[in-house]
Structure 1
Amino acid sequence: MPSQKLHDPWAKREAWRNAPHFSPRYSLRHAWPGLSWGIGAFIIYLGIDAVTSRMNAHDKHIETKESQAQTG
């Protein structure tokens, strides 16, 4: 009896599981470029927020002094 190769009809559909770009090592190694951009954008946002909040606090302080001078 000759040995027959068993043909798996789902082999093509399951091939993606063995693709290298789905491995955890590949995902971790390629997550860093996006992570660095995100951290950089967040630091810029925090800097802008700190500057604008100081400006708003300064403007409110000036408005308070002016209103006290007008009522007093």
Structure 2
Amino acid sequence: MANPPSPPSLFRDPWAKKDAWRKHPVFAKRAMLGSMFPGFGVAVVAFTTYVLVDNLILSKDNEHKH
């Protein structure tokens, strides 16, 4: 039996294993941006709730006091 042809030297990269971590999904740009500001989503919801309560509910109470 004949040996199968060897792949070109392009595919025999000695550093391929050491460089494989760069293509892992954990290091994707979307994953990095999502974890760049932890708690930002919670802070936006809390601030929006505060502003709505302050403007809608508390402003009605202040109009009657004047």
Aligning the two structures, in what range does the TM-score lie when normalised by the shorter sequence? Answer: 0.3 to 0.5
Higher helix share: 1
TM-score by length of 1: 0.43
Calculate the TM-score normalised by the size of structure 2. Answer: 0.45
CA radius of gyration, larger in: 1
